[in-house]
Amino acid sequence: MKLNLTIVSIITLTIFFFAGCSSERAEEPQVQFELPEDGIEIADPWARPGRDNGVSAIYMNVLNGSAETDTLIAFSSPVAGLVELHETFDRGDGMMGMRESEEPYFPARSVVSMRPGGLHVMLMQLNRPLSEGDEVELTLTFSGAGEMTITAPVRSPN
C-alpha cells in the first residue's frame, strides 16, 4: 500500500508540475517581438526551480529572422545530465502527457514560444538544486544559426 501511495504521489506532483498543458506549439506569443534581420535570437528565457537529481524546464521565445527554417540539432547544460526538447500533449484519456519533440523546427520569419504547457527544454538528472534567483546556462545548436549559449534566470511560474 505504501508503494502505491508513493507512485500516486509522484504522478500527482508531475501532473501539477505541468498542469494546464496543451499540445499545440504557440507560433504567436502574446508579446510581440521584432524579428532579427537574419538568424536566430532568444528572448525572455527562464527556468523552473528543481531539486538535486530532479527535473526542471527552460522556456523562451525563439525568434527566427532568416528566410529559411532552422532546426535545433543539439543542446546541453552544465546543470543537467540529460537535456531534451519536449512537448506536452493530450493523451486522450483526460490526462496530459509529455514526450520528446520529434519536430525541433523553427520556421522562417517566425517566433516560436516555448512556454509551460507546450514546447520546452527539459533538464533532467540535475546535478544541483535550482532555486529562485539562480541562473542556468543552456547551449543550443541550430543547423543554420550554429551554437549559442544563453543564461536563464530561475523563477517560479507566474
Q: Identify the CATH number of the domain in which residue 43 sits.
A: 2.60.40.1890
Band the pLDDT of 98: cuts 50, 70, 90.
confident
3-state class (DSSP) for residue 17: helix
Pick the range with the lowest mean pLDDT from 11-15, 41-45, 71-75, 118-122. Answer: 11-15
In sequence order, which residues have a C-beta less than 8 Å from that of residue 141 and are 6 or more positions away? Answer: 72, 73, 74, 75, 147, 148
In a domain, 108, yes or no: yes
Mean pLDDT, residues 74-85 taken together: 96
158 in a structural domain: no
Torsion of CA 122, 126, 132, 137, to 10 degrees: -70
pTM value surpassing 0.95: no
The total domain count for the chain is: 1
Structure confidence at residue 91 (pLDDT): 84
Q: Which three cell numbers stand for residue 49?
A: 526551480
In a domain, 96, yes or no: yes
Domain contains 81: yes
1-22 average pLDDT score: 40
Q: Is 26 exposed, middle or buried (0-12, 13-18, 19+ CB in 10 A)?
A: middle
pLDDT, position 7? 42
Q: For residue 60, give its domain range.
A: 2-153
Share of the chain above pLDDT 90, in %: 62
